[in-house]
């Protein structure tokens, strides 16, 4: 039975059955079977555009408007609204002549389906100037479609979805474009510089194969875009490119230039970028990037990366897992992610948090100086696992300029095996008899010759009182001296993360 094919409708089954019952009892035929051609007096034509399935879903969606999520039991179903199949807003590209076998170019057919979906007036808007397309769907019907040109959208619109199939660039696909371009071109001025053209567009359940011609998806000046459950391969530029706009949510997706499960003999030649974020407030959640020179490049503010697994290209081959490349405040949060033989590179990081991540295979965090500034950086509670080569878990790249402003940088509480611990805080104790106690923190502290704060306690083993003082903290070596020789233990804690911003 058709309804069993869709979980969304199954969840609404009680309501749907109530509807069918209500409709059947209203039917003049009375005992009409569920697949009969008359429901509630409306005649279903055998128009090829019609799908009974869509009809049922359409009806149940409309009913839920009356019911709502917390409605009382469906004892009083409202009178069924009048039914007209032409009201379906699901556009099947095969109905427009697209070829689901991937043998011939389907770009024009898919383009016609999209034009039809956009040719609609609900009288409602999302952001001013962005018509609400009501939740229309461009349905790919599980086919593989060959494209000679990118899929573009008329300007402007929102509340629309494209889903459920595969798109593959042909050998004639233009170089350096993207399979799907959520981007408005104007004939005179090219890309519109700033206005929002699209809002709440969903791209889901898609496999995109860029056939080494260009990229997967471009999202330009769009608001609240959802890319969900996509598999994007064979890109030469970017798997996903986001420019301007805000709140592109990329989630539960897989991206790779080559299809590989790791340890690929081509790895040293991997190029391109899995996800390029040139905008603010985006979120990447539960995404795997399995081949690309750079996994995620972040060049905007306030982006969140969570649950990402990067094994795109090993550091040893010149790859970067996540590259934070922002001028000024980055406000980037990289959480709960898995950096697998490839690390995180942050340039002049200002307001960056890296927490709860797992670094495998000597992968590490590199803080690179461009203008010599790093402020408000927290690298805490991560796991680092290496193979005993002595790689620092966090390293400074000052090859072009030294860091001159270092303020509020916290590298602490990381769990380290087979790599060299680096930290901005440390504690140690020394025991002995004498007048001088020296604790050398230089092998663990991240920054050379810098102790912002320290505390110590001198605990004599004998019941004597002795004068003692801090003498020196140069080169991260703490020297305590006493006025007389005593047997004592000296406990010292030091920190390099004083935050001058608070002043
Ligand atoms: C939009 O649809 C109307 C019919 O509803 C049609 O007359 C018109 O030509 C269509 N416009 C486009 C651009 O397809
Ligand atoms: C502190 O120690 C350094 C050597 O580590 C030395 O050059 C310097 O003079 C010492 N400073 C004082 C105040 O003793």
User: Measured from the CA of 115, which atom of ligand 1 is nearest?
Assistant: 14
Residues 6+ apart with CB under 8 A from 276: 238, 240, 241, 242, 296, 297, 299
**Residue 154 in contact with ligand 1 by CB distance below 6 A:** no
DSSP states of 388-400 as a string? SS--BSEEEE-SS
**Domain regions of the chain by residue span:** 2-87, 90-365, 425-502
Is the peptide bond between 75 and the residue preceding it cis, with omega within 30 degrees of 0? no
Which of 448, 469, 471, 474 to mutate to test ligand 2, by most ligand atoms within 8 A of the CB atom? 474
Task: List the residue whose alpha carbon is closest to atom 12 of ligand 2.
Answer: 472
Q: Which fold has domain 90-365?
A: Pectate Lyase C-like (2.160.20)
Nearest CA to ligand 2 atom 4: 474
| CA of 155 relative to ligand 1 center, distance in Å | 15
Residue 488 in tokens? 């004592």
Cα separation values, 411 from 171, 379, 425, Å: 49, 5, 7
Calpha distance 373→348 (Å, rounded): 5
C-alpha of residue 122 to centroid of ligand 1, in Å: 14
* Nearest residue (CA) to ligand 1, atom 7: 119
Instruction: Give distance in angstroms: CA of 222 to centre of ligand 1.
Output: 25
Distance from the CA of 367 to the center of ligand 2, in angstroms? 29
CA of 135 to the centre of ligand 1 (A): 19
Q: Which atom of ligand 1 is nearest to the CA of 119?
A: 1
Phi–psi pair at 86, nearest 5 degrees: -65, -10
The closest alpha carbon to 225, from 149, 123, 126, 89, belongs to 126
Nearest to 297 by CA among 270, 330, 323: 323
| Residues 203, 201: Cα–Cα separation, whole Å | 7
Predicted local confidence at residue 498, as pLDDT = 79
Which alpha helices (DSSP H) does 72-214 contain, by range?
107-118
- Tens-place pLDDT, residues 188-240: 545 544 589 999 999 999 999 999 999 999 999 999 999 999 999 999 999 99
Please give the distance of CA 7 from its chain centroid, rounded to a whole number. Answer: 26
Return the closest-CA partner of residue 304 out of 279, 327, 321, 328. Answer: 279
Ligand found nearest the CA of 471? 2
Look at the chain and count its residues: 503
H or E segment at 55?
Answer: helix 52-67
Whether ligand 2 lies within 6 angstroms of the CB of 431 is answered as no
Cα(90) to centroid(ligand 1), Å? 16
162 Cα–ligand 1 center, Å: 21
Ligand number nearest to the C-alpha of 119:
1
Q: Does ligand 1 have an atom closer than 6 angstroms to the CB of 400?
A: no
Residue 453's closest CA among 409, 421, 413, 493?
493
116 CA distance to ligand 1 middle (Å): 8
Atom from ligand 2 closest to the CA of residue 472? 1
Ligand 2 touching residue 472 (CB < 6 A): yes
Residue with CA closest to ligand 1 atom 9: 119
Which residue's alpha carbon is nearest to atom 11 within ligand 2?
472
Q: Which of 472, 478, 481 should be mutated for ligand 2, with most atoms under 8 A from CB?
A: 472
Write out the chain's pLDDT in tens, 503 residues: 333 333 333 333 334 444 444 444 433 333 333 333 333 333 333 333 333 333 333 333 333 333 334 444 456 666 555 544 567 999 999 999 999 999 999 999 999 999 999 999 889 999 999 999 999 999 999 999 999 999 999 999 999 999 999 999 999 999 999 999 999 865 554 554 458 999 999 999 999 999 999 999 999 999 999 999 999 999 999 999 999 999 999 999 999 999 999 999 999 999 999 999 999 999 999 999 999 999 999 999 999 999 999 999 999 999 999 999 997 889 999 999 999 999 999 999 999 999 999 999 999 999 999 999 999 999 999 999 999 999 999 999 999 999 999 999 999 999 999 999 999 999 999 999 999 999 999 999 999 999 999 999 999 998 889 999 999 999 999 999 999 999 999 999 999 987 654 43
Residues facing 407 on adjacent strands:
375
CB of residue 119 inside a 6 A radius of ligand 1: yes
> What's the 448 CA to ligand 2 centre distance in angstroms?
15
Q: Which residues pair with 443 in a beta bridge?
A: none
Residues 6+ away with beta carbon under 8 Å from 450: 406, 476, 496
d(CA 443, CA 448) in angstroms, rounded, equals 9
User: Distance of alpha carbon 77 from its chain centroid, rounded?
Assistant: 42
What is the whole-number distance in angstroms between the Cα of residue 112 and the centre of ligand 1? 11
Ligand whose nearest atom lies closest to the CA of 476 = 2
What is the pLDDT, as a whole number, of residue 85?
52
Question: Concatenated DSSP letters for 392-428?
Answer: BSEEEE-SSS---EEEEEEEES-EEESSB--BSEEEE
**What confidence score (pLDDT) does residue 108 get?**
98
């Amino acid at each position: 039975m058709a309804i069993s094919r869709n979980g969304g409708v199954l969840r609404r089954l009680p309501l749907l059955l109530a509807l069918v019952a209500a409709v059947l009892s209203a039917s003049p035929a009375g005992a009409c079977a569920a697949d009969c051609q008359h429901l509630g007096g409306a005649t279903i034509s055998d128009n090829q555009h019609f799908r009974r399935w869509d009809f049922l879903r359409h009806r149940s969606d409309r009913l839920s408007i009356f019911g709502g999520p917390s409605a009382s039991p469906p004892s009083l179903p409202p009178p069924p609204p009048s039914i007209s199949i032409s009201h379906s807003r699901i556009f099947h590209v095969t109905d427009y002549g697209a070829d689901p076998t991937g043998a011939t170019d389907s770009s024009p057919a898919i383009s016609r389906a999209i034009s039809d979906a956009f040719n609609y007036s609900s009288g409602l808007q999302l952001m001013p100037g962005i018509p609400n397309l009501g939740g229309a769907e461009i349905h790919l019907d599980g086919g593989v479609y060959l494209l000679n040109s990118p899929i573009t959208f008329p300007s402007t619109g929102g509340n629309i979805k494209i889903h459920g199939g595969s798109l593959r660039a042909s050998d004639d696909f233009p170089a350096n474009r993207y399979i799907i371009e959520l981007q408005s071109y104007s004939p005179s001025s090219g890309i519109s510089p700033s206005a929002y053209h699209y809002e709440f567009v969903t791209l889901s359940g898609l496999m995109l194969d860029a056939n080494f011609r260009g990229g997967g998806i471009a999202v330009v000046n769009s608001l609240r875009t959802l890319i969900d459950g996509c598999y994007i391969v064979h890109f030469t530029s970017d798997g996903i490119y986001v420019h301007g706009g805000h709140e592109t949510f990329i989630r539960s997706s897989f991206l790779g230039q080559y299809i590989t499960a790791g340890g690929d003999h081509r790895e040293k030649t991997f190029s391109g970028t899995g996800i390029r974020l040139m905008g603010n407030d985006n979120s990447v959640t539960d995404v795997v990037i399995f081949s690309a020179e750079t996994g995620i490049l972040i060049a905007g503010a306030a982006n969140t990366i969570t649950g990402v697994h990067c094994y795109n290209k090993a550091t040893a081959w010149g790859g970067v897992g996540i590259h934070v490349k922002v001028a000024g405040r980055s406000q980037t949060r990289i959480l709960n992610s898995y950096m697998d033989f490839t690390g995180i590179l942050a340039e002049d990081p200002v307001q960056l948090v890296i927490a709860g991540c797992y670094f495998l295979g000597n992968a590490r965090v590199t803080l690179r100086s461009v203008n010599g500034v790093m402020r408000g950086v927290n690298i805490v509670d991560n796991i680092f696992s290496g193979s005993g080569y002595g790689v620092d878990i966090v390293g400074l790249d000052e090859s072009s300029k030294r860091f001159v402003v270092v303020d509020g940088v916290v590298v602490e509480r990381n769990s380290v095996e087979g790599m060299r611990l680096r930290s901005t805080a440390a504690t140690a104790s020394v025991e002995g008899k004498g007048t001088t106690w020296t604790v050398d923190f230089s092998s663990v502290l991240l920054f050379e010759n810098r102790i912002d704060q320290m505390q110590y306690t001198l605990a004599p083993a004998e019941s004597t009182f002795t004068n003692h003082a801090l003498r020196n903290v140069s080169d991260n070596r703490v020297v305590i001296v006493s006025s007389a020789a005593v047997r004592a233990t000296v406990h010292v804690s030091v920190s390099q993360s004083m935050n001058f911003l608070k002043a």
